[in-house]
Structure 1
Amino acid sequence: MRKRLAALAIGLGLISAPAMAQVDLGSGFSVTGTVTGATDYVFRNISQTRSRPAVQGSVELSHETGFYISTFASNVAFAGTDARQEVDVSGGWRYTAGGFTADIGGTWYTYPGYSNQPGQYGLNFAEGILRLKYEMEPVTFVGTAAYSPNFWGSSGDGYYVEGGIDVKIPGIDVTLSGRLGYQWIERNSRFGAPDYLAYSIYVSRPIAYGFAVSAGWYGTDISQSECGGLKICDGRFIASLSWTF
């Protein structure tokens, strides 16, 4: 179970990144990117680096029609495995009308260099993801629904839903955010943990020259005993510094 739970903390989403700058490439194409340093890396609030710092980068190529493709990379550290990096590829389509935005896409999570040993399962998996956003200054409402036909560790169907709110605080250029989500897994025994609640509250603020900071608290309702005795499911404070280009 310890090996399974150590590998459980995979995927995207540490702290909501600042809006990325866009570089116009012509013919309707643009590219955006972010580099981030953080005190930890969590996927749905479970540590992917065993409570250690992470360095991450992402690049997205998009078209004015709404179609995009992107990649994300980060260091990882799973107890009992030789996985040391994550490289994800995402693609999809965004539509914006007024203050409403819909993003329909998917992500393929991969771990180059990982080789599963006897008793271990493959780490790679794919998810279809729907993201919705409605902006009503100074408040933004967000929602996410994700489905994997074969979630981490060949644990069968995986479903995740999340809702949240971002509130811009006037005068100090700070955004206060909160998220509440729930993860369901078909084969909990293979996944190594029960279905669980994920919650977070954090603040973010742009600085200058594309830099921004973010800090907050991330937790789950998984006890340490349900987490194979590991601390990767414990609540934790996370801070990050990002640069957009």
Structure 2
Amino acid sequence: MLRKIAAAALGIGLLASPAAAQVELGSGFSATGTVIGTTDYVFRNISQTRSRPAIQGSVELSHEIGLYVGAFASNVTFPNTNARQEVDGIVGYRRTIDSFTFDISGVYYGYPGYTAQPGQYEIAFAEAILKLKYELDPVTFVGTAAWSPDYFGSSGNSVWLEAGIDWKTPVLDAVLSGRIGYQWIDNNARFGAPDYLAYSIYLTVPIRYGFSVGGGFYGTDISQSQCGGLKVCDNRFIAFASWTF
């Protein structure tokens, strides 16, 4: 049974939102937040909601020296479990030098209310993440590396590597983004899916007052039979709307 839920469950959403506006709080502190409505919640291109809509929210408190703390929440639906929400805690350090930005963080992916039944494993886990960004207007190059000592479902060591590009188009300041990544998992049998390739292309269009809309294509090279017979690993189109404050 865990093979069926493991392929569906992982943490923070992939959906892109525009650069966050910040509320200055004084003494070097600032805050920002985002609310997203999406037709599907995917993480590393695997659905967390069994191809159903999700409402998500995130907040971040940062200081001008680069330190920040944040949180993310979303509804989830994992087969054969009572997990219905995800709440993540984030702490990190971000610094920009000229056109280059690096971001080192630790994330704890929590699922309040989840109770492991006989034969199930703990689904909460933690990751260390490094994000790099280089801006060469109108193009931004991005990269992510993530490592967990004990991934979802107690599936052991995992490594995620991703590279991508964002192009700010001359039309409506829309951003066209492409991503390609690869996920390695130590215990594939317990995780419920093989190591896999993930790829996506999506468009984000800012409107005004912090609102944006967008959508795109998200896929993996995992077949349905390799995903426990579920459709959560299938290729899919997703639409989303966000408000940043």
TM-score, normalised relative to structure 2? 0.98
Name the counterpart of 2:4: 5
Q: State the SS of the aligned residue for 1:5.
A: helix
Paired residues of 1:7 and 1:79 also in contact (CA < 8 A): no
Alpha-carbon distance in 2 for matches of 1:85, 1:220 = 24
Paired residues of 1:6 and 1:48 also in contact (CA < 8 A): no
Alpha-carbon distance in 2 for matches of 1:156, 1:72 = 24
Deviations 1:71-99 (A, max 9, x none): 00000000100000000001110110111
TM-score, normalised relative to structure 1? 0.98
Offset, 1:17: 1.4
Offset, 1:13: 2.3
Name the counterpart of 2:25: 25
Identity within the alignment, %:
68
Paired residues of 1:15 and 1:214 also in contact (CA < 8 A): no
Name the counterpart of 1:140: 140
Q: Bigger shift: 15-24 or 223-232? A: 15-24
Q: Does 1:154 align with 2:154?
A: yes
Offset, 1:171: 3.5
Alpha-carbon distance in 2 for matches of 1:143, 1:162 = 6
Alpha-carbon distance in 2 for matches of 1:7, 1:113 = 17
Deviations 1:12-50 (A, max 9, x none): 123111111111110000000000100000010000000
Q: Which runs of 5+ in 1 are unaligned?
A: none
Offset, 1:6: 2.5
Q: Bigger shift: 43-52 or 18-27? A: 18-27
Name the counterpart of 2:57: 57
Matches for 1:13-162 after TM superposition, within 5 Å? 13-162=13-162
Q: Bigger shift: 116-125 or 11-20? A: 11-20
Deviations 1:54-79 (A, max 9, x none): 00000000000000000000000001
Q: Which runs of 5+ in 2 are unaligned?
A: none
Paired residues of 2:155 and 2:188 also in contact (CA < 8 A): yes
Alpha-carbon distance in 2 for matches of 1:51, 1:58 = 21
Amino acid at match of 2:111: Y
Q: Does 1:210 align with 2:215?
A: no
Paired residues of 1:128 and 1:148 also in contact (CA < 8 A): yes
Q: State the SS of the aligned residue for 1:226.
A: helix
Q: State the SS of the aligned residue for 2:153.
A: helix
Q: Does 1:235 align with 2:231?
A: no
Amino acid at match of 2:44: R
Paired residues of 1:133 and 1:140 also in contact (CA < 8 A): yes
Name the counterpart of 1:167: 167
Alpha-carbon distance in 1 for matches of 2:152, 2:3 = 9
Q: CA RMSD in A?
A: 0.9
Alpha-carbon distance in 1 for matches of 2:121, 2:158 = 16
List structure 1 runs of 4+ shifted beyond 3 angstroms.
none
Paired residues of 2:6 and 2:193 also in contact (CA < 8 A): no
Q: State the SS of the aligned residue for 2:225.
A: coil
